[in-house]
Structure 1
């Protein structure tokens, strides 16, 4: 049995074009398979990176948070996770290269763990403000999802400002309460 499939044709040119066609079709199948695997892998990683026990987030909020997580990995090489839990926050063992934000709306508490370089880039005062004051009085009436998205936008804006001298669109405006998606920001390599 031959391992190579010989193209059928009456002339040499017809055989050549059939061989090229077979190679193109094989290449397209391999590319489609690779793209499908990449898409599946991204979905699995996104599912593991956002954990919402409260089931309060709507689709656009989930998409925004997952966009932030993807952007942190793509732009800065930082693995990010967001956990929204029902129990009080306990000390967690976190990978030193990972950004982790844990929110417990019932306990009205938030925990943030930043990798060393990200912590240095953001600054102690900024991180303290986010941890201690940003979510205050936003747990009632389910206001915390908007506060979480604002928090992520503030982190993104601060890191982009450190990374480049390019301007970044305003993160939060009181007029229409719009928050830009980090994936669509003005930051380009």
Structure 2
């Protein structure tokens, strides 16, 4: 289901919060925002939109959706998409118990999850098998490949066709409607309290 797909993607994205790539990205974002090793230093805000997070505090992502997923509302709209995670929090210092030297940490206060997808209609991408009224399910599409199945579905649904990116491009050329675009979802905010060690060598 859509809910299970989303929960799984969120769990995967959250698990990647402290990977080497996420740490490198976080340090670059902090420096870009003006951090020069001082503390405290705030990053991000829960008032930010997905587009703002994408630029200023997004630290990792996961991809979800696949060719064999159920043809639900999410797959129909997005196909394979990217779920990103951004952080809101603060840099602080803490004395290392062994070296007695101050170390920098980032205290995560909130995580922001959002979907970013890109519709460019370049190359070949299958967009589904369509009748005049609806998209066939994946099971129906498999059945339609056989001569018997093709006949059954035509008798039941009427004419149908496999639609791909090139069909949309032809439509766009003929009508001057449509184009390439990015979409951003709303942000799902989640309270969190992990510490990220900014001194770990990368």
Q: What's the TM-score, normalizing by structure 1? A: 0.21
The structure in which a higher percent of residues are helix is: 1
Quick check: which one's strand share is greater?
2
